[in-house]
Structure formats: C-alpha cells, structure tokens
Amino acid sequence: MKNYPELYHNLVSLLKDLKVELKEPTQAFSILHKSAINEGVLSQKIKELMALGIAIANNCHECIAFHTHDALKAGATKEEVLETIGVAIMMGGGPALMYGCEAYSALIQFYDDSDEFKDSLYS
C-alpha cells in the first residue's frame, strides 16, 4: 500500500513547482477546482466525497490522496468516507473494489498521521 499522507505532501510540493513552470494551465485548473468545490447548494464536504468516489472509480491514487485528505478536512466522518467507498465500488466494479481498498488505507493513514482529523473521523 502507498503512504498517502506522504504522497499528498509530495504532490502539494510538486504542484507548487509546476505552477511556476506552467502558469496558465495550472492557474486555470485552480480556478476550476475552487469554483467547483466551494460551498453552494451542496457542501464542500459532499463535493469532496463525490470527488473521492470518482477518484476511486477512475483508479487514481493521487486523486484518492487529495480527496480523502480534503474530505476529512471538510469534516467528513469515517462512516461517510466508507459509504463513499461503497458507492464507488458499486459504480466501478472490481477495479473500484481494489481502489476502494486504497481509499480505506488512505483514510486510516490520514487518521494515524495527524490528530487534525480525529474528531471528524470518529464523531
């Protein structure tokens, strides 16, 4: 299994560097991301859980790292993340089951890596 907190922090660093080298596309994506995730009729937490489900169904480790982290940061509980994994498995079949295991690993690792999420995970 991957070290998801480490993967997340490495990607954040790489993205900062890439934004310097590839300014326009990365800025445009940042604007898209921010506008899609901002609070609206759906909460930021719900949107992050949706993104996590899509990340699992699309088999993207890096997206799993980001959206597990960000869903927890937005206040998702352990149970909400687990239900999201379940829906992703239903939509993506066998491959999503394997990446659902990866998302579960990310959930546990982010919990173990930081006290920041303890309250949201087990509330």
Q: 45-79, pLDDT tens digit by residue?
A: 999 999 999 999 999 999 999 999 999 999 999 99
Task: Give the long-range contacts of residues 100-105, CB within 8 A, separation 24 or more.
Answer: 100/56, 102/1, 102/2, 102/56, 102/61, 102/64, 103/52, 103/55, 103/56, 103/64, 103/68, 105/1, 105/2, 105/4
Percent of the chain with pLDDT over 90: 87
Q: Which domains does the chain have, with CATH numbers?
A: 4-121 (1.20.1290.10)
- The arithmetic mean of pLDDT across residues 92-113, rounded, is 91
Which of 63, 61, 108, 57 has its CA nearest to residue 81?
Answer: 108
pTM for the model stands at: 0.88
> How far is 49 from 89, CA to CA, in rounded Å?
14
